[in-house]
Amino acid sequence: MATRPKTLQQARATYTTNRELAWWVFMRISGFLLIFLVFAHIFFNNIQINVATVDYAYVAARLSKAWVKVYESFLLGLAMLHGTNGLRYSIEDYFKRPGTRFWLKAVLFTAAGAMFVVGVMALWAFSYQQMGDAMNAVGHGG
Amino acid sequence: MYRGREGQWAFVLHRITGVALALYLLLHVFDIGLVMYGPKGPFNAFLAFYHQWPFRIGLVLVMAAVVYHGLNGLRIILMDFTSWGVRYQRSLWYGVLTLTTGIGIPILIKVVPEILAGKV
């Protein structure tokens, strides 16, 4: 191994570069995958049907399918990371004061984390049957 | 503002659409997440609210942003990973704009009458 960084500053210079490089690569890979995931998501829910017909029954029926849960989970995870990192780039480009950056990023990461938890709960907190059963219980039909 | 050429406008549009889509994602997940509260929860009321025409026009803009951001992202990938991408980046950007329009027009033909017709 080459010379290891001996100060915090040196470590930052060494390691943030690798991490930033990893994020740089991630933005391109996730971006490429998201093109297909998002285009298909929009096609199924906005083009193939009139989006004004979307209601609880439609979403519950959709989320009761296993493949939809898996598909939307990949979409949620990749979009959350891609979007959060993109917003982080924007914050670092337009806000120079360390204090401002810190608080904006704190809000960003909190919001992203909360959104991810809500998304995972909406996708996975119920068994495949439960959402459909809840629907039938109030007479919306299956 | 710095009066750059196509490359700068490609970047500015990518940035604006990116920030807009990230904020839309946040709204979208919290909104659809209301499905957790069941059929008697606030889900249907919220969706009925968003089915009003101003939000449906907003949804058209979201779709336009998705198509542009995705296609321009492909342009960026070509610029980064091919030997010829940077040389042809300007032509590629006009290609992105043409394809965005080409995909956008059929979407408008499908969606605009639905918006004009109001809620089904």
Q: In this predicted model, what pLDDT tens digit does every residue of A29-72 receive, in sequence order?
A: 999 999 999 999 999 999 999 999 999 889 988 888 889 999 99
User: Residue B10 is part of which domain span?
Assistant: 6-117
Round the average pLDDT of chain A to a whole number and report it: 87
The beta-carbon neighbor of A56 closest among B35, B63, B71 is: B35
A84 CB neighbours in chain B (<8 A) are 22
| pLDDT at residue A2 tops 70 | no
| pLDDT at residue A74 tops 50 | yes
- Kindly state the tokens that stand for A45: 């829910």
CA–CA gap between residue B33 and residue A122 (Å, rounded): 5
A131 CB neighbours in chain B (<8 A) are 35
**What does the pLDDT read at residue A142?**
43
* Domains along the sequence of chain A with CATH: 13-137 (1.20.1300.10)
**What does the pLDDT read at residue B39?**
83
Q: In this predicted model, what pLDDT tens digit does every residue of A95-127 receive, in sequence order?
A: 999 999 999 999 999 999 999 999 999 998 776
* B106 to chain A, closest Cα gap in Å: 10
Domain count of the fold of chain B: 1
What CATH number has the domain bearing residue B19? 1.20.1300
Query: Is A90–B19 a contact, with Cβ atoms under 8 angstroms apart?
Result: yes
- Kindly state the tokens that stand for A24: 């740089």
Query: Is B114–A52 a contact, with Cβ atoms under 8 angstroms apart?
Result: yes
| pLDDT at residue A13 tops 70 | no
The beta-carbon neighbor of A118 closest among B33, B73, B111 is: B33
Instruction: Answer yes or no: is B1 within a domain.
Output: no
CA–CA gap between residue B45 and residue A50 (Å, rounded): 18
Instruction: Answer yes or no: is B76 within a domain.
Output: yes
| pLDDT at residue A85 tops 60 | yes
